[in-house]
């Protein structure tokens, strides 16, 4: 089995709309391990309604790690945060870096809003890049503007922004529109990562492995769930995407139309 790395989860207890108790955090970790995940980034919301501070994320992480060690759950949990665009102006650069994805202070996971096209998105992303941050955009395929015109993300991707798809979009659990836009982005080469965005143990039950199967191309699925997240975690140059003219991928594309 490979080494699946899930870079977007709400596993820390009581910080947002994810795990409600430490027991739920442990249950989420168990489901993830059963699903083949070996490493996970804890990415609580950092947003107006859940204004998580770095210290709270760090304390929650320590608590979860201790519980997993006690329970003998073999899951490595790393720091992170899912930062809303409107919080960027509030947080200082050093606190932003503490939310660095998978403990890499150079990477930030930015929440892509569900509705509307964020007019200041490109400005914000390019400003962050000037300040030395690389950006991962969380689940843009769930946004109706992106669903209508996925190529709007091309410019950001060409400048190095990494696009994360949610596993439940890829395998169809979030419905036809999300699945179609996820595959359209994959087809256009504007998607680089699959993560669960898990909020609870039950949602997580069939997550990363099912999405990897749905991709329909073993090498591409491995790139999306193992190789890309590993490079982000290690701060290494991201690996080139494998060629995808395999029959499996084409079949998966046809199926979702």
Using CB under 5 A, list all residues that contact Fe ion.
Answer: 82, 197
Report, in this order, helix, strand and coil percent for the chain, each rounded to 5: 50, 15, 35
Q: Measure the CA–CA gap between 79 and 193, rounded to whole angstroms.
A: 18
Nearer to Fe ion, 24 or 197 (CB): 197
Measured from the CB of residue 157, what is the shortest distance to Fe ion in angstroms? 20
Kindly report the backbone phi and psi dihedral angles of residue 53, in degrees, each rounded to the nearest multiple of 5, phi listed first.
Answer: -100, 160
Nearer to Fe ion, 197 or 227 (CB): 197
Measured from the CB of residue 100, what is the shortest distance to Fe ion in angstroms? 16
Closest CB to Fe ion belongs to which residue? Answer: 197
**CB contact at 8 A, 162 and 191:** no
Residue with tokens 């955009």: 137
Nearer to Fe ion, 45 or 98 (CB): 45
DSSP-based three-state secondary structure for 125: helix
Measured from the CB of residue 71, what is the shortest distance to Fe ion in angstroms? 24
Nearer to Fe ion, 24 or 82 (CB): 82
Q: Measure the CA–CA gap between 215 and 212, rounded to whole angstroms.
A: 5
Measured from the CB of residue 168, what is the shortest distance to Fe ion in angstroms? 11
């Amino acid at each position: 089995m490979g080494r699946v790395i899930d870079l977007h989860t709400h596993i820390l207890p009581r910080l947002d709309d994810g795990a409600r108790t430490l027991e739920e955090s442990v249950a989420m970790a168990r489901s993830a391990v059963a699903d083949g995940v070996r490493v996970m980034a804890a990415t609580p919301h950092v947003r107006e309604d859940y204004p998580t501070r770095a210290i709270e994320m760090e304390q929650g992480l320590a608590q979860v790690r201790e519980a997993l060690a006690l329970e003998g759950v073999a899951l490595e949990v790393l720091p992170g945060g899912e930062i809303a665009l409107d919080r960027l102006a509030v947080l200082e650069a050093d606190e932003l870096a503490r939310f660095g994805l998978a403990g890499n202070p150079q990477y930030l996971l930015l929440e892509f809003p569900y509705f509307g096209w964020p007019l200041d998105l490109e400005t914000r992303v390019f400003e962050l890049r000037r300040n030395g941050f690389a950006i991962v955009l969380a689940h843009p395929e769930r946004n109706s503007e992106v669903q209508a015109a996925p190529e709007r993300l091309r410019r950001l991707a060409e400048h190095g922004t990494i696009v994360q798809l949610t596993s439940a979009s890829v395998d169809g659990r979030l419905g036809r529109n999300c699945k179609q836009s996820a595959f359209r982005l994959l087809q256009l080469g504007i998607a680089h990562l699959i993560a669960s965005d898990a909020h609870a143990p039950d949602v997580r039950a069939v997550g990363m492995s099912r999405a990897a199967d749905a991709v329909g191309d073993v090498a591409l699925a491995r790139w999306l769930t193992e190789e890309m997240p590993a490079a982000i975690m290690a701060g290494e140059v991201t690996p080139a995407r494998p060629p995808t003219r395999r029959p499996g991928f084409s079949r998966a594309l046809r199926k979702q139309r």
